[in-house]
Amino acid sequence: MKNEGPWKERDNPLRAGREEPPRPQAGGKERDRRWMALALREAERALEEDEVPVGCVVVRGENLLGKAHNQVERLRDPTAHAEILALTQAAAALDDPRLTGCELFVTLEPCFMCAGACVLARLDRVVFAARDPKFGGCGSLLDVPATPGLNHVLQVEQGPLGEEAATLLKAFFRGRR
């Protein structure tokens, strides 16, 4: 029997009377732009903290479940990418490691680790702003979500604010050289 923790799964309002929560509806370009703008604000926070400026939000419908920015240097943790931190927050908010019905918006194409985490989290959709030709795990260098044999299909698309996200990244790396 599944360990249901301090509360019963049947008490979860997101799951009441159904096998899984409702699927997100791609709300169109304006909705994607709104969520990506919030992710971009997180990326700006990362830049202020001298971190690689990547920001991320996880949502279900119109509900924000997690938001984060890269904190690799601050936490001295190579896995403290914005996506991983936001996924952790979302899983805690839902008290469930499976984030079905959720979408992730991130300012830079997820790396291999983060793309794999998105698949494992059972996200429905990932939207990224800027491509990452050096480490991109969602089509630029490798396409982790499209790996044959995976038991979960993850929708991945390039979304809005790519130029703005790329500008932040260029500013950060220009200051490093």
CA 132 to chain centre: 15
Residue 90: CB atoms within 10 Å? 27
Q: How far apart are CA 54 and CA 8, in angstroms?
A: 36
23: how many CB neighbours lie within 10 A of its CB?
Answer: 14
Cβ atoms of residues 39 and 127 within 8 Å = no
Helix (H) / strand (E) containing 56: strand 55-60
Catalytic pick among 19, 49, 51, 83: 83
Q: Is 83 a catalytic residue?
A: yes
Least Cα distance to 112 among 81, 90, 85 occurs for: 81
Size (the chain), residues: 177
User: What is the rounded (10 degree) CA torsion for 38, 44, 121, 131?
Assistant: 100
Report how far residue 144's alpha carbon sits from residue 28's, in angstroms, rounded to the nearest whole number: 25
Query: Which residues carry out catalysis?
Result: 83
